[in-house]
Chains A and B, each alone.
Chain A
Amino acid sequence: MYGIFTNRTAMKTFETALNLIQKQDRLWLLGWMAGMAIVWTWDYFFLNAPALRLIESAFLNTGLVSLLAVFFALLWSWPAAVTLHFIESKRPVYMSVIFFLNIVRSVPQILGVLIGYTVLTVLIERELLESSDAKLWAMALVISFVVFLELLDSLRERIRWFQRSDFYPAMLVSGVSESRIIQYDILWKNSRSHIINKLIAMFGTAVFLQCSIDFIISVGLSTEVSSQNFPATLGSLLAKMDSKKDILAIGNSLFNPEYIPRLFTTHLQGITVAFLIVFSLLSIYMINRVFALRKRL
């Protein structure tokens, strides 16, 4: 097993690579991609083609919805942060908006998504939402509404932090417009790392919420509409009976170790989906964490 380390150069290369993995966010990203590639290759040889195609489309849909959700969240929170800054002097309006945002903040994310999906279900029932692409965009919109507050808080925190420093009045007396100071100098030039860090974290949250809600609605949110009417995602795929049985096999193998090899051949669909979810969440967390440490955020 340790044969590869008989060569000193190989050993040093391996050591360097491992050290880099522990420290570098980009290497975690590469590790994530590599993990996905290895699983895909394995599935390509051992999983039947229809199931593989289903997993591929579910993974792509989950990734796409989560990315779109993050994009939409950025789209809402940036103007919202700037607007809130400018209406801060108008106390009644500002206080009303903050009051409303605090209420939204107190609604658990899963309830927000559930309410949003119930609306989508009604739209599907009334045949107002038919195409698969439109459903994906709508799902992303729903998720973005429940996660955008995290980014909004972060942006407002950055603006406030810079406002307290000398930098802000100095720029103002230099004749730079307030809007430019906030949008360009504070948010774009000096908070990019913070925003990216938040977006990575939100991407993880979006993946988690997406998988959870799709798993939950596998029983359906309507007697006419069920998860079958939504595009396949990792959550909905995991909720299928086959996948559940595959996951149950993991627990079975803990008590019967001789069963472990069969996990990677017989129970591939469920194991793959579960692995994709857990490994993605772990990788996103590690990327986020190492990125924050590297940038000293």
Chain B
Amino acid sequence: MKNKLLEHGYSVAAVGFVLFFFSWALRTPAYSVQYPSDPLLNKLTKIDSLHPEKPLHRALLKESLDSFYPDQSARNDSLIDALIQWRRDTYMAAIKSARMDREWSWNRFNDLAAMYSTFIVAFTIVTALIYFGSPALGLYQFIRYNRVCPPDARQWCEACRIVFKKIPGNRSHAFRRIASLKLKWFLKSIAYAVLFSPAYVVAYSFKTNFEKDSMVFLIALGFGTNGLLITSAYKCFSILTSESRKGYVETARAKGLSADYDHLPMRALLQPGKYFSNHVAGHIYKQAVFQYRPALKELASFVVTGLIIIEMALNIQGHLGYELLKSVLYRNWDVVMVIIFGIFLLIKLTEAAADVWHFHESNRYENV
């Protein structure tokens, strides 16, 4: 355990060093006006009241130059063009530099710290929701997968046959069955559409403008979209399926535990412990959850990816993802490196916590 924690510490130190190095290597010199080497052009650039972009100024300048240098009309024209170009470049460079906001100050630091805190809160909530929600969803999928009852499509066909009197049966019951299946398929389609949609597709379906106070919306999107929940639940389902094929399940069945999934009460899914009385599902679930625990480490990285995508794609101002994108755009490498380091640190802390938790749980089971 100690080695693992040391490894996390070393990797944080290594990444910190690399980012600091890049931040130093990529630093851009402070902005200063670069004057042209041509002496005449240099003189012209220093006349503050001259604005050659304005037609009147341009015409006056041209006339003045032509009167001072009468036989050099082409040179005078190119001089004015060069002056205009220099003024444009200087103006653009000044704007860029102003946006770079290079100076570190307490205000700047506080802003970043506030964004980071918000990000941590969103990350913690979304991770907890997915981490504790997906085993229940995975177990639901597992129970449904193991049920012997006919699939929905077959039930629908059976109901249709009854409705059209191809086979005997209660027609009103068949009508109700068809209606409920239609409703179920509709809701399932909507759920699948949302679960697999990238967050920005869902978000832009509802609004186009996202403000700083979009925290609840951000958490809802992080939890329900980008395929995070469904992928995590599928991981749990896979573990449950592979566990159900193991020998101890057969032994449990031979010793009298039920393996009938058709009559398994679904309300047990809502209980924290998922206790299934006299059923193998409870034992399979317990083993699966133990194996699922280390998945928290990779989940952390995916949740961060999801949240950053949401913040960047929806341009939520005042959030870490948007600040990162803006800093990349204006080449504020210091800020970029600080944000990346902060995110890396968050993931490493989660990984370390997951390792410690898994270690303690392993010890608990070994002692038993």
Interface residues of A (CB under 8 A from B): 2, 5-6, 8, 11, 14-15, 18-19, 21-22, 99, 102-103, 105-111, 114, 118, 204, 208, 211-212, 215-216, 219-223, 238, 244, 247-248, 250-251, 254, 274, 277-278, 281-282, 285, 289, 292-293, 296-297
- Majority secondary structure of chain A interface residues (helix, strand, loop or mixed): helix
A193 CB to closest chain B CB (Å) equals 14
* Distance of A14 Cα from B245 Cα, bound (Å): 32
> Could you give, for residues 306-336 of chain B, a 1 whenever the CB lies within 8 Å of some chain A CB and a 0 otherwise?
0011001101000000001100111000000
Known interface pairs A22-B151, A244-B204. Does A110 touch B161 (Cβ–Cβ under 8 Å)? Answer: no
Instruction: Let me know if B200 is at the binding interface, CB within 8 A.
Output: yes
* Distance of A21 Cα from B152 Cα, bound (Å): 12
Please indicate the chain A residues that have their CB under 8 angstroms from the CB of B206 in the complex. Answer: 248, 251
Interface residues of B (CB under 8 A from A): 7, 10-11, 14-15, 96, 145, 151, 153-154, 157, 160-161, 163-164, 166, 192-193, 196-198, 200-201, 204-208, 226-227, 230-231, 234, 238, 241, 245, 298, 301-302, 304-305, 308-309, 312-313, 315, 324-325, 328-330, 340, 343-344, 347-348, 351
Known interface pairs A108-B305, A111-B308, A251-B206. Does A221 touch B329 (Cβ–Cβ under 8 Å)? Answer: yes
Cβ contact within 8 Å between A11 and B329: no
Known interface pairs A18-B153, A19-B151, A108-B301. Does A281 touch B329 (Cβ–Cβ under 8 Å)? Answer: no
Cβ contact within 8 Å between B238 and A106: no
Please indicate the chain A residues that have their CB under 8 angstroms from the CB of B10 in the complex. Answer: 99
* Other-chain contact of B308, A11, A110, A247, A248 (Cβ < 8 Å): A110
Cβ contact within 8 Å between B305 and A11: no
* Distance of A108 Cα from B324 Cα, bound (Å): 14
Known interface pairs A114-B328, A208-B226. Does A108 touch B304 (Cβ–Cβ under 8 Å)? Answer: yes
Known interface pairs A2-B163, A247-B205. Does A211 touch B198 (Cβ–Cβ under 8 Å)? Answer: yes
Known interface pairs A19-B154, A293-B241. Does A277 touch B7 (Cβ–Cβ under 8 Å)? Answer: no
Known interface pairs A99-B7, A277-B201. Does A14 touch B344 (Cβ–Cβ under 8 Å)? Answer: no
Please indicate the chain B residues that have their CB under 8 angstroms from the CB of A208 in the complex. Answer: 198, 226-227
Which 9 A-B residue pairs are closest in the complex by CB-CB distance?
A: A18-B153, A251-B205, A108-B304, A110-B305, A15-B157, A108-B305, A250-B205, A247-B204, A216-B312
Cβ contact within 8 Å between A22 and B153: yes
A228 CB to closest chain B CB (Å) equals 15
Cβ contact within 8 Å between A106 and B348: yes
Please indicate the chain A residues that have their CB under 8 angstroms from the CB of B304 in the complex. Answer: 108, 110-111
Cβ contact within 8 Å between B305 and A109: yes
Cβ contact within 8 Å between A216 and B313: yes
A-B contact pairs, 9 of them (CB 8 A): A19-B151, A106-B344, A108-B343, A108-B347, A114-B324, A277-B201, A278-B198, A285-B196, A285-B231
Cβ contact within 8 Å between A19 and B197: no
Cβ contact within 8 Å between A5 and B208: no
Q: Closest chain B residue to A249 by CB distance?
A: B205
Q: Closest chain A residue to B241 by CB distance?
A: A293
Cβ contact within 8 Å between A99 and B227: no
Cβ contact within 8 Å between A105 and B328: no
Q: Closest chain A residue to B166 by CB distance?
A: A8
Which of A220, A278, A285, A289 has the most CB atoms of chain B within a 10 A radius of its CB? A278
Known interface pairs A99-B11, A108-B305. Does A282 touch B192 (Cβ–Cβ under 8 Å)? Answer: yes
Please indicate the chain A residues that have their CB under 8 angstroms from the CB of B315 in the complex. Answer: 219
Please indicate the chain B residues that have their CB under 8 angstroms from the CB of A254 in the complex. Answer: 205
Cβ contact within 8 Å between B157 and A11: yes
* Distance of A19 Cα from B156 Cα, bound (Å): 11
A252 CB to closest chain B CB (Å) equals 9
Known interface pairs A15-B157, A247-B204, A277-B198. Does A110 touch B309 (Cβ–Cβ under 8 Å)? Answer: yes
Cβ contact within 8 Å between B161 and A11: yes
Cβ contact within 8 Å between B328 and A118: yes
Known interface pairs A11-B157, A220-B329. Does A278 touch B164 (Cβ–Cβ under 8 Å)? Answer: no
* Distance of A54 Cα from B347 Cα, bound (Å): 39
B149 CB to closest chain A CB (Å) equals 13
Cβ contact within 8 Å between B198 and A292: no
* Distance of A100 Cα from B344 Cα, bound (Å): 14
Q: Closest chain A residue to B189 by CB distance?
A: A282
Known interface pairs A106-B351, A110-B309, A244-B208. Does A2 touch B164 (Cβ–Cβ under 8 Å)? Answer: yes
* Other-chain contact of A11, B14, B160, B351 (Cβ < 8 Å): B160
